[in-house]
Amino acid sequence: MTSSNDQIKSTSIRSYQLPLTKVKSIIKLDNNTRMISQDSVYILTLATEEFIRMLTRDAHNSMKQCASKRLDRLHIFSSINTNPLYEFLDGSFD
């Protein structure tokens, strides 16, 4: 998905799946944030996509351990509680 602000058009080499403008507006929600360069938004988007893949893989593993047939929210919870990397997610959802 490309946006009008995106000066890097989507090509076969450069691909991303989350729209940059959306990511940027989420970043801007925090009033304290400074100006952010377009390159930074791009890198942040890539990191986010990588994060989704990572979390999905971990949740999938949790699911296998439970011998479940369907990936459920509980499996994601389980991954969050197990892996210290996901600690930042801890306080957000109660």
Partner 1 sequence: MIDSSNNSGNEDDDKCVPRAAVYKMIKDCTQHIRVSGEAKEFFVQCCNEFIHTLALQANTVCEQQTKRLVHPDHIVTALNNMGFGSYKTKCLNAMETAQEEIAQKRRKLHGKPTSIYTDDELRQKQELLFQQAREEAQQLEDDDWARTQELSKEALRKKLEATRTDDDNYDD
Tell which one of 5, 26, 65, 81 touches partner 1 (CB under 8 A): 26
Q: How far is the CA of 1 from the CAs of 12, 14, 28, 45, 50, in angstroms?
A: 13, 12, 20, 12, 17
Provide the mask over 50-89, with x wherever binding to partner 1 is found by CB under 8 A and - wherever it is not. Answer: xxxx-xxx-xx--x-----xxxxx-xx---x---xx--xx
Do the beta carbons of residue 86 and residue 55 sit within 8 Å?
Answer: yes
Least separation in angstroms between CB 81 and partner 1: 13
Tell which one of 39, 66, 81, 82 touches partner 1 (CB under 8 A): 39
Instruction: Tell whether residue 25 is a contact of partner 1 (CB under 8 A).
Output: yes
Closest CA to 14 of 43, 55, 51, 57: 43
